[in-house]
Amino acid sequence: MSRHGKVRKASHAGSWYSDSGAELNAQLENWLSKASDNMKPARAIIAPHAGYFFCGACGAFAYRQVDPNTVKRVFILGPSHHVRMSNCALSGTETYKTPLYDLTIDQRVYKELYSTGAFDTMSLNTDEAEHSIEMHLPYIAKVMESRREHFTIVPILVGSLTPEKEAKYGQLLSPYLGDPENLFVISSDFCHWGKRFSYTYYEKSRGRIWQSIEALDKMGMDIIEKMDPPAFTNYLQTFHNTICGRHPIGVLLNAIDHFRRTSNGTAMQLKFLKYAQSSQCETTHDSSVSYASAAFVLQ
């Protein structure tokens, strides 16, 4: 369990989102005020991780479902964009900075996770270069501000996992998902479409290109809502949709599946609340990234 520095800086502040605490706070409040809270209190959410100019408004629909009064720990599962990994990794730091206030990593939970032998440690360079976790930190700080001294975070960087490893990590994290004091944040954008992403799937019967993209994404979202890990794996293998957080989503679905099989019929629901695209593709020269927000509740 090596240490690469105590503090992770807010390395994308000032480019992907505002580095002014006052401006950032006002933006987050504005977006949250426009979202309803009909899936509250969420035990887990799925939300995007692009620049806030593109996806900040969409992400609010997931974060609006968080009840800070019930949460003591926030697990953040983000995909690795820059480093090839076949496992999951934890941060080597103790504090994550945001323009709002600093967030403390839960070292007790980290010790429990390390004891399984299934987790590696990120280098500080990998940690600070990765945006998939960082883009959630300001939103977490905002929705948890009334409890700012009373919660911790558990950042987990998720590698390119096989379906078997998604099931393994899902089983490891399932007891934490079952604890009402924990919130899981699953970081994922949806379809990355265009030649620059090497993905140009187009089903012409769906209409325009952007309508085909939406239909493809919503097919995947419907499967995720069914909380069926093998069906989601099959969808990805069939259509190769470029959902960058597919492995964190796969871990969540397996955690839910394991919890459902051991929880004596607890009622649960996973529902998507918002869908958006960075732009509407009309020709093969265009490109776009899709965003979606969802919440998972136990009833």
What token pair was written down for 186?
């699953």
Q: Give one DSSP letter per residue of 80-145, joined into a string.
A: -SSS--SSEEE-S-SEE--SS--EEB-HHHHHHHHTTT-EEE--HHHHHH-HHHHTTHHHHHHHTG
Q: pLDDT value at position 288?
A: 98
Q: What is the DSSP letter of 228?
A: -
pLDDT at 299 over 60: yes
Q: Is the peptide bond before 79 cis (omega within 30 degrees of 0)?
A: no
Q: pLDDT value at position 111?
A: 98
Region 93-115: mean pLDDT is 98
- H or E element, residue 155: strand 152-158
Residues belonging to the chain: 299
Q: pLDDT value at position 2?
A: 39
What token pair was written down for 244?
């960058």
pLDDT at 264 over 90: no
Region 106-115: mean pLDDT is 98
pLDDT at 4 over 50: no
What ranges do the domains of the chain cover? 23-298
Q: pLDDT value at position 169?
A: 98
Q: What is the pLDDT of residues 198-219, one digit of tens each?
A: 999 999 999 999 999 999 999 9
Region 104-122: mean pLDDT is 98
Region 22-44: mean pLDDT is 97
Choices 2.40.50.140, 1.10.3720.10, 3.40.830.10, 3.40.50.2300: CATH for 23-298 = 3.40.830.10
Please name the residues in contact with 179: beta carbons below 8 A apart, sequence gap of 6 or more: none
Q: What is the pLDDT of residues 116-157, one digit of tens each?
A: 999 999 999 999 999 999 999 999 999 999 999 999 999 999
Q: pLDDT value at position 89?
A: 98
Confidence of residue 5 (pLDDT cuts 50, 70, 90): low
